[in-house]
A = this chain, B = another copy of it.
Amino acid sequence: MTFPVVGMVGGGQLARMTHEAGIPLGIRFKLLSDTPQDSAAQVVNEVVVGDYRDLDTLRAFARGCDVITFDHEHVPTEHLRALEADGIPVRPGPDALVHAQDKGVMRARLDAIGVPCPRHRIVADPADVAAFAAEGDGFPVVLKTVRGGYDGKGVWVVDSVEEAEAPFRAGVPVLAEEKVDFVRELAANVVRSPHGQAVAYPVVESQQVDGVCDTVIAPAPDLDESLALHAEEMALRIAKELDVVGHLAVELFQTRDGRVLVNELAMRPHNSGHWTMDGAVTSQFANHVRAVLDLPLGDPRPRAPWTVMVNVLGGDYPDMYSAYLHCMARDPQLKIHMYGKDVKPGRKVGHVNTYGDHLDDVLERARHAAGYLRGTITE
């Protein structure tokens, strides 16, 4: 058999769902996981438990893999270069991935290729933040550590020079950004292969609660067609210019004055693309696998007029399984995706997808199910 071996670094839910999507292709899937209990490690046959920050561990894992890809963006760049030097394809490669790891590098590069971003600058200390504020419309200002943040962590919205002290305490570089006056958040998701083929999923609306993605609506309702096309083209251009391989999520602000600005980049399957599992001809996970194997990409178009994804966060009830009875009986079309994680308050432990012809109905069904699973709805 000549079927390839895909090695995935990281045992989270993205790896779990990538494995699920890879099974039909008949490929072998190897996992490097922090623990044997990680979300993906529960469902994959070939699991290596080890620390991705240790080069020897990574190298031993990569031996026998035809390609290495990622559940997260935390593998040190120098390790990725070492794997490449060993002759292992790393997709996305370190030169692309750094833009998803370092917000300073990302902003500089997007500026250079003319992609619109919020006003921004690396700042040295609270006084510099005050200067940055004064250069624009004043406070509030958004401060971000250039590395390591996600789901609202490593991000501060500060209203004064005093409040600007906290981000500097860790001693890591800090990026200041204008607080964008946005009407909503969008995401443009694309997948690109090494030989340069790329596909764009419809632009979606992403609703955050407390800095964490809560609801995704595909396609984004009432989005001007030219703006949607502009966002898709922008994401495709970023993927090409940065030589991304695999899935690229471009998180966007839609501003009150009708522009789109890039908020964040993620170079892996992304929460804003989970709707594709049940709502698109080819899911983001299936296309990510195809891309890292340099196979032709699958059709990214939607299968229904509307698809809605709502995240299931951990709540006060640890027993989500008992909620299945109600949720499945109420909605036989409901798609539940649980990650095998212990329930902790606020932790993403799963998501639900619904699809159909009428957005109101599709949205209500997804929200009800997610709320019932979490325990905030008990009807």
Chain A positions near chain B (C-beta within 8 angstroms) = 1-4, 16-17, 19-20, 23-26, 28-29, 41-45, 47, 277, 281-282, 290, 295-299, 303, 318-322, 324-325, 328-329, 332-340, 342-343, 350
Contacts and interface: CB of A to CB of B under 8 A. Distances in A.
A321 B295 CA distance: 10
B24 A337 contact: yes
A299 B333 contact: yes
A25 B20 CA distance: 12
A43 B42 contact: no
Given A295-B325, A303-B303, A16 B20 contact: no
B43 A23 contact: yes
A107 to B, nearest CB: 34
Give the 6 A-B CB pairs with smallest separation, nearest first. Answer: A26-B338, A296-B328, A296-B329, A299-B332, A24-B337, A20-B23
A75 B47 CA distance: 30
A340 B322 CA distance: 35
Given A2-B319, A297-B328, 20 more contacts: A1-B321, A1-B343, A2-B322, A3-B321, A4-B321, A19-B23, A19-B43, A20-B24, A24-B277, A25-B336, A26-B321, A26-B336, A26-B340, A45-B47, A281-B333, A296-B325, A297-B332, A298-B332, A298-B333, A303-B303
Contacts of A3: 321, 338, 340
A38 to B, nearest CB: 11
Contacts of A322: 2
26 contacts: A1-B318, A1-B319, A1-B321, A2-B321, A2-B322, A16-B23, A19-B23, A20-B20, A24-B277, A24-B335, A24-B337, A24-B338, A25-B338, A26-B339, A26-B350, A41-B45, A42-B45, A43-B44, A43-B45, A44-B45, A45-B45, A290-B328, A296-B329, A296-B332, A298-B332, A299-B333
